[in-house]
């Protein structure tokens, strides 16, 4: 699993296109695009995307460790990534996430904003297709892994769509929402399928469920105690107004993402330090950090704080700075 192969890049366009496309199914994309929709597009769109994303990713990650289908053999395949090589292959969670995010965004916005239906559909198809193809190009999945992941995600979207409004209403109004949003993900993380060797799937799943839990608590608090902000705004034609709008959009994004990344860094340091003191291990001890009693609370607390910060603290800061 630690073996690497030498390779020569013959087509730099495909190489950079698919390396970039692969990043659209990883943390760097989640931690930027999902908050961006909350700060600059619409609360309801962001809530629905996060609900679908967390459910789809949990099912995909657990399915990998239950099915235990190996990734493509290398050689003959050349693998351009090594971090996820320890994971099993079927289904491709990159394909699942790309399908879930792109099509849930399309479905959630098509009745809120005026744009051609065909344009939205093509954009969702192109986005998900690029991510799926990137998994083949980088040698991380077989065609069956990718098709399986996309199909599972599509089926889950079809099943979840009729319940979107009901789930959204309960998450905003139920007095049990904060308790449910924290306890259920934690139970799922602590009862994650056990493997004979360490795989990053449990840690990645904990990050996703933690971020969704923190964001959901934030949604509930905002609905209970704060006025709705960042509702969809219609921009009328005119270069000055469009330019002004873009300044506010970029300002909200850069302020917000700076606070989110700072929160992640601070919480990682604090929580790891506390756990290191509790279980008597050096913070840089990678093996100790992979233990269940360390990895789950470390990643869940860190990323639940990230989700909460993105939905509660950042909007308050935007209002204070006049970026609303």
Cis peptide before 75 (omega within 30 of 0): yes
For tokens 């970026």, the residue is 323
R_g of the chain computed on alpha carbons: 20
Active site residues per annotation? 94, 141
**Burial per residue of 63-80, b for 16 or more beta-carbon CB atoms within 10 angstroms, e otherwise:** bbbeeebebbeeeebebb
> How far apart (Å, rounded) are the C-alpha atoms in residues 29 and 50?
13
Backbone region of residue 139 per phi and psi (left: phi > 0; alpha: psi in -120 to 50; beta: other values): left
Cα torsion for 265, 271, 274, 280, to the nearest 10°? -90
Cα–Cα distance measured from residue 129 to residue 69, given in angstroms and rounded to the nearest whole number: 22
The answer to whether 270 touches 264, Cβ cutoff 8 Å, is: no
Are 309 and 259 a contacting pair, CB within 8 Å? Answer: yes
Measured between alpha carbons, how far is 64 from 33 in angstroms, rounded to an integer?
25
Q: Rounded to whole angstroms, how far apart are CA atoms 215 and 252?
A: 17
3-state SS assignment for residue 286: helix
Q: Which residue has the tokens 């970029």?
A: 250
């Amino acid at each position: 699993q630690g073996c690497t192969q030498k390779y020569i890049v013959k087509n730099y366009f495909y190489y950079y296109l698919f390396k970039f496309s692969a990043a659209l199914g990883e943390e760097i994309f989640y931690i930027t695009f999902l908050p961006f929709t909350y700060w600059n597009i619409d609360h309801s769109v962001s809530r629905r995307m996060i609900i679908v994303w967390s459910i789809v990713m949990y099912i995909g990650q657990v399915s990998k460790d239950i099915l235990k289908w190996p990734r493509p053999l290398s050689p003959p395949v050349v693998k351009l990534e090594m971090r996820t090589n320890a994971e099993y292959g079927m289904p491709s969670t990159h394909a699942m996430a790309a399908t879930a995010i792109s099509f849930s965004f399309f479905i959630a916005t098509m009745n809120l904003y005026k744009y051609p239906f065909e344009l939205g559909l093509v954009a969702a198809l192109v986005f998900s297709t690029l991510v799926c193809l990137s998994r083949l190009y980088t040698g991380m999945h077989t065609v069956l892994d990718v098709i399986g992941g996309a199909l599972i995600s599509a089926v889950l979207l079809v099943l979840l769509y009729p319940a979107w409004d009901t789930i959204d209403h309960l998450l905003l109004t139920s007095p049990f929402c904060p308790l449910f949003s924290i306890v259920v993900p934690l139970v799922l993380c602590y009862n994650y399928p056990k493997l004979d060797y360490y795989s990053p799937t449990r840690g990645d799943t904990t990050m996703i469920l933690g971020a969704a839990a923190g964001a959901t608590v934030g949604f509930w608090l905002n609905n209970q105690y704060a006025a709705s902000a960042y509702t969809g705004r219609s921009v009328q034609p005119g270069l000055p107004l469009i330019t002004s709008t873009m300044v506010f959009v970029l300002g909200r994004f850069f302020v917000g993402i700076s606070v989110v990344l700072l929160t992640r860094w601070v919480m990682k340091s604090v929580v790891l330090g506390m756990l290191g003191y509790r279980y008597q291990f050096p913070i840089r001890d990678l093996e100790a950090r992979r233990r269940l009693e360390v990895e789950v609370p470390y990643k869940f607390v860190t990323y639940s704080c990230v989700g909460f910060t993105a939905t509660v603290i950042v909007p308050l800061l935007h209002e204070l700075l006049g970026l609303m």
